Structures are given as structure tokens and as C-alpha cells.
Amino acid sequence: MHSRIALAVLLVFPCAAGMLAQTSPTQDAAVHLNQIQVIGSHNSYNLGFAPSEEKFARMHNAKSYESLEYHHATLTTQLNGGVRQLEIDIVQDEQGGRFAHPRVVELTKEAGLPPDPDFDPNHEMEKPGFKVIHIADLNERSSCHLFTGCLQEIRTWSKEHPSHIPLFLLIETKHGNTPSIPNSVTAEAFTPATFDAVDRAIRSVFTDKEMVLPDQVRGSYSTMDAAVRAGHWPTLAASRGKVIFLLDQRNDGVAYTAGHPALEGRVLFTNAVPGRPDAAFTEENGGTPDEIDALVRQGYLIRARADEGTVAARTNDTTRRDELLHSGAQIISTDYPLSEPSSWAAYSVGFVNGLPARCNIINAPLACMDNLLEPGTRSGGTPSPQNDTAAQSAGK
């Protein structure tokens, strides 16, 4: 692991960040999109449960509820707090209204619990189009109900902060129903035609010039895999102020690439098995730091989760978090970014000095400086002592 000059400058000369208030054209031309690291939020839209919904969920399955006991602020607030990867879960609702009446409303009433505030006072769930939902009929409270509404909120923030590093937008597609809820609605399957509609929805909000697209990364190479192994990711100079869309489920890759070999003409980067023609991005949620670093060195973009199911957050178990902070995973996802620490043990995930990004400790150029990635920006929280130590040692 090579030395991080940027970290040394910040630790030894803390005034350096104040003196360097602009992005560096020289650094932006040398550092590529896959040579930085960011913190992401998991299920970024999720507002959690209303009071009676929470009581019902606890009564229904206390253990399962514990794994769902987290929530987030609005997407805008998270971006202001330093999160640079957002996750949006979508369901298909071509006609509209399929998810407008969650069963949990009836179930809480049957349980004798008082009514909760209306989860959709503007009746957005009645409109046709993709909806943003965590668990149909149980946990449907989202800070933005419409997929395009979420995207418009992100685009507004992006336009207000045009020099931001690229934002990574992870899209999870929801299939089937919720078995634990009687008579739960069934979400429509995602077919190649459905994914065509996903791309159209994204392009109805973002222009191609506002996104990093697979065609751009692939360039003249025959496959995505060949392109990223050759280091053909765009530089920060070419990707500042842009967004890059990633597809969460690996098993959706077949439908998404149908008729689009190596992602030709597509918007999202699939979560692909390394070596496949569409492989540029892959998830390593259970991968070891050595496995992750090997893939990073080969040119892949890696997302990994620092915590899951609220377990680490309840006991402040930082084992997995610290492993990832010592790895080259470009996207480290958590339910608890610095601006939203755990209420149980103040557990959170972030970089030293609260920076929203750092130079990748595995593959960034040696002269890359963390404080020039997004000058003047700090996350909305303060790293815990364990987190600060882990981040500092990972950068040396």
C-alpha cells in the first residue's frame, strides 16, 4: 500500500485545507473516477416507521423489526452532509395505484392501534411510473415516492453544487411480494422492456451530458471489462458535476443487457461478475480487503457495505467498517454516515476530518490530495475516535 501524501499534509499542516480553497485542474486531470473513495447510504430514501406501524412491526416480528430500525433524512440533507452515493429502491407501477394503500394501515387498525399520519398526502402513489419503496405493504414511507421525483431532487442539488465529485446512484429493483404480510401486493417483474422504461425515466431527468455512461467508459474497447482493465474510467475533470448510475442486483444483468451487449446504449452499470463483457462495477459486500483490493487494482469499481441489519450499530462493532476503511473499495455504504450516527452507540462511518471523499489508498496517484477533491466541504458529523484512527492509519 503506497503512502498517502495528501493525508500527511492534512495531519501535519492543518491550515493547508484552508489555503487551498479550489479544486486543482492538475489533480483533476490526473485522478480518475475509480481512484477516489466515498461514503454511501443504504436505502437512502427510507423514512422508517410511523409510531403505530412501529408497534405493529414489533408485535408481528420483533427480530425482523430490529433489522429495519434505521431511517434517513432527505436526499438533499444527506448530500449536504457529505454522502456521495445514494441508493434508491424502485418497483414497477405502470398503471399507478398498485402501492397506494399499504396493508400495514389496515393491520394497525385491526390491532387496535391509533392511525398514523398519511404516508402519501399528495397522492403521488396513484400516479403511473416507478415508485420508491423499501418493503411493500409494510415499510413504504419514503422521502420521495416517485423515482423521477428522487432524481429531480438529486439533480437540483447537483446543479447547485456544480463542482461536486461524481455522485454514485445505486438502483435496486424490487420483485415479488412481502410473504410475511397477508395478501401483500405483488411487484411486477423487471423485463428488458421494463429496463428500457427505467432508462427513459432517468433520461427524462438527466441529460446524457450530465451522466457518466457505459458507452463513454467503454470507448473503443470491445467490452466494458477490457475498458476498465485498461484504466479507461473518466478523470475527475471529465466527471465533476455528473452522476453515475449503478444496478444493484446481479441477477438483473441478463435482462438489462439483453439486446445491449457490453451495455451499449444503456444508462446503468450492472453489478457484473468480473471478466464478463459488461463488467465494470461489482459488489463485494462480503469480500475481504485483499479480494477487494485485487479487484480495484484490476480497474473495477467496488461497492461494499460496512454494516447490515443494525447489528454493528447497536454494539459499536467497528470490525467490518475498519476493514473497508483499510481497503480500496470506492463506495463504502452504511446505514449510519457521519451526519446520521447510530442512536445506540454513536457508531458512524466516515473519513478523517469529515471529508466527503478521499484519494483511493490503493490506486490513486501518489500526489493526490484529499482536501482538493471537494474543497471546503465537510461531512455533517465528526468521526468517532475509532473511525478517525482507522481512517488515518488506512491512509498511511
Note the pTM of the prediction, 2 decimals: 0.91
Residue type, 348: S
- From first to last of the 396 residues of the chain, give the pLDDT tens digit: 444 433 433 333 333 333 344 678 899 999 999 999 999 999 999 999 999 999 999 998 898 999 999 999 999 999 999 999 999 999 999 999 999 999 999 999 999 999 999 999 999 999 999 999 999 999 999 999 999 999 999 999 999 999 999 999 999 999 888 888 988 999 999 999 999 999 999 999 999 999 999 999 999 999 999 999 999 999 999 999 999 999 999 999 999 999 999 999 999 999 999 999 999 999 999 999 999 999 999 999 999 999 999 999 999 999 999 999 999 999 999 999 999 999 999 899 999 889 999 999 999 999 999 999 998 666 655 443 334 434 444 443
**Whether the Cβ atoms of residue 131 and residue 125 lie closer than 8 Å to each other:** yes
Residue pair 354/82 in contact (Cβ under 8 Å)? The answer is yes
Question: Given this model, what pLDDT does residue 379 score?
Answer: 60
Q: How far is CA 376 from CA 17, 19, 89, 97, 111, in A?
A: 8, 10, 31, 44, 51
Cα Rg of the chain (Å, integer) = 21
What is the C-alpha separation between 297 and 303, in angstroms, rounded? 14
Question: In the prediction, which pLDDT does 15 show?
Answer: 36
CA 222 vs CA 219, 281, 381: distances in Å? 8, 16, 44
Q: Which three cell numbers stand for residue 296?
A: 480495484
Q: In angstroms, rounded to a whole number, what is the distance separating the alpha carbons of residues 66 and 310?
A: 7
DSSP state of 332: E
Give the mean pLDDT of the chain.
Answer: 91
* Confidence at residue 23, expressed as pLDDT on a 0 to 100 scale: 75
Number of neighbouring beta carbons within 10 Å of residue 18: 10
The whole-number pLDDT of residue 22 equals 67
The CATH number of the domain covering residues in 25-44+82-95+146-175+189-385: 3.20.20.190
Q: How much of the chain, in percent, has pLDDT values that exceed 70?
A: 89
Q: CA 41, CA 37: separation in Å to the nearest integer?
A: 14
DSSP-based three-state secondary structure for 246 = strand
**pLDDT at residue 180 in the model:** 86
- Yes or no: say if 150 and 88 are a contact pair by the CB < 8 Å rule: yes
**pLDDT at position 273:** 98
